[in-house]
């Protein structure tokens, strides 16, 4: 049976945006399928906000096109905007209103009324995990709760595509986790999500596919594993200690999944396929040769190494 072709929710084709002499977005193309979470990962100033501002029809592209749910998006068109929920980096909530009042107000502005409005506000409060604080004024919320309320506003119109611009910048780790859980819950509901971040852990955890952006250009895209393969990167296990390391190394070379073993004076470095899966066996083998281990280190390539490989610089500033 032939596969049913589901059209992409978002098609970004050859987008360019210049500010004077600076090309902030330089020929960027990517697509997002329904239910997919796509991460735009890049450092500050890479062009993420400018890209999503064009996708949301807030600013015009100099070149290229954006298609949302099959409709062309420009600052002059309003129809495709009904498919979008945009959660900007800056908070857009009223501090003196409660969480529920904020959502109700924005829901009305988006054309919801009566029982539909009430039930949607209730659903969104659950989705963002603020149902039990709905009656508190938002100025009493923590930074992370305010951010989640900001996300809730973007969800009111049941968007086909939710765009989140660095939603965890400046929030504490616990709130960050709550935000990430909310985004995971949305993906489970089948929403397409475009998530910009400069935190590789977030992109690794949330995103089905990741586009790496730097100096306005999409350097590479793919799943986490596809991107890591680009670096040709491998896992390593390094064991350090005293005893018969050379004897242990001979046996370690025979273990399935071990590609090579390099011995130095008091340490051995194993190049392996899957370090976490092998480490217990490696330690056991070393012990059976009377090696007294003083340290065991696992290193796996991550998106940070991919970024370094592609751009020659670190992702973090
Ligand atoms: N309105 C503007 N006028 C002039 N330059 C701009 C404007 N908006 C963005 N830029 C420049 O375009 C480049 C890309 O900025 P953009 O905000 O898109 O990056 P970003 O990846 O979202 O970074 P950040 O995380 O810091 O927001 C930067 O060099 C920025 O200074």
User: Structural domains in the chain?
Assistant: 10-229 (3.40.50.300), 234-300 (3.30.70.100)
Start-to-end C-alpha separation, the chain: 50
List pLDDT tens digits, range 215-258. 999 999 999 989 988 877 678 899 999 999 999 999 999 999 99
Q: Which residue's C-alpha comes closest to atom 5 of ligand 1?
A: 19
At 3 the pLDDT is: 57
The Å distance, Cα 14 to ligand 1 centre, comes to 18
* Residue that the structure tokens 């100099």 belong to: 62
42 lines ligand 1 (CB under 6 A): yes
The Å distance, Cα 48 to ligand 1 centre, comes to 8
The Å distance, Cα 125 to ligand 1 centre, comes to 32
% of the chain exceeding 90 in pLDDT: 65
List pLDDT tens digits, range 162-202. 999 999 888 888 888 888 988 888 877 778 999 999 898 99
Which neighbouring-strand residues pair with 270? 237, 261
Most confident listed range (4-13, 15-24, 178-187) = 15-24
Selection from 285, 212, 195, 266 nearest residue 43 by Cα: 212
Q: Which residue's C-alpha comes closest to atom 12 of ligand 1?
A: 24
List pLDDT tens digits, range 100-143. 999 999 999 988 999 999 999 999 999 888 999 999 999 999 88
Burial bucket for residue 203 (CB in 10 Å: 0-12, 13-18, 19+): buried
Strand order in the sheet with 267-272: 258-263, 267-272, 235-242, 292-299
The Å distance, Cα 215 to ligand 1 centre, comes to 10
Helices of type H across the chain: 48-55, 99-109, 114-127, 143-155, 173-188, 200-206, 224-230, 245-252, 275-288, 303-311
Closest-lying ligand 1 atom to the alpha carbon of residue 51: 18
């Amino acid at each position: 049976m032939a596969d049913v072709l589901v059209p992409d929710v978002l098609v970004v084709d050859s987008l360019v945006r210049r500010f004077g002499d600076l090309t902030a977005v330089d020929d960027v193309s990517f697509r997002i399928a329904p239910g997919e979470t796509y991460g735009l990962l890049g450092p500050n100033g890479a062009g993420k906000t400018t890209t999503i501002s064009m996708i949301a029809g807030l600013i015009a592209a100099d070149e290229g096109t954006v298609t949302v749910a099959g409709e062309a998006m420009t600052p002059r068109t309003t129809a495709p905007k009904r498919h979008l929920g945009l959660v900007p980096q800056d908070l857009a909530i009223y501090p003196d209103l409660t969480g529920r009042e904020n959502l109700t107000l924005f829901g009305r502005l988006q054309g919801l009324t009566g029982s539909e409005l009430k039930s949607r506000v209730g659903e969104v409060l659950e989705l963002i995990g603020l149902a039990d604080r709905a009656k508190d004024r938002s100025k009493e919320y923590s930074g992370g709760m305010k951010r989640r309320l900001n996300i809730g506003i973007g969800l009111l119109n049941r968007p086909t595509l939710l765009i989140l611009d660095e939603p965890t910048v400046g929030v504490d780790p616990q709130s960050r986790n709550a935000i990430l859980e909310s985004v995971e819950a949305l993906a489970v509901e089948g929403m397409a999500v475009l998530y910009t971040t400069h935190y590789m852990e977030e992109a690794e955890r949330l995103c089905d596919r990741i586009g790496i952006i730097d100096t306005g250009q999409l350097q590479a895209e793919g799943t986490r594993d596809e991107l890591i393969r680009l670096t040709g990167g491998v896992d390593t296990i390094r064991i350090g200690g005293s005893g018969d390391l050379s004897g242990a190394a001979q046996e370690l070379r025979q273990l399935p999944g071990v590609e090579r073993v390099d011995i130095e004076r008091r340490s051995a470095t194993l190049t392996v396929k899957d370090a976490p899966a092998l480490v217990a066996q490696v330690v056991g083998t070393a012990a059976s040769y009377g090696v007294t281990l003083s340290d065991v280190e696992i290193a796996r390539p991550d998106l940070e190494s991919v970024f370094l490989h592609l751009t020659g610089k670190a992702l973090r500033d």
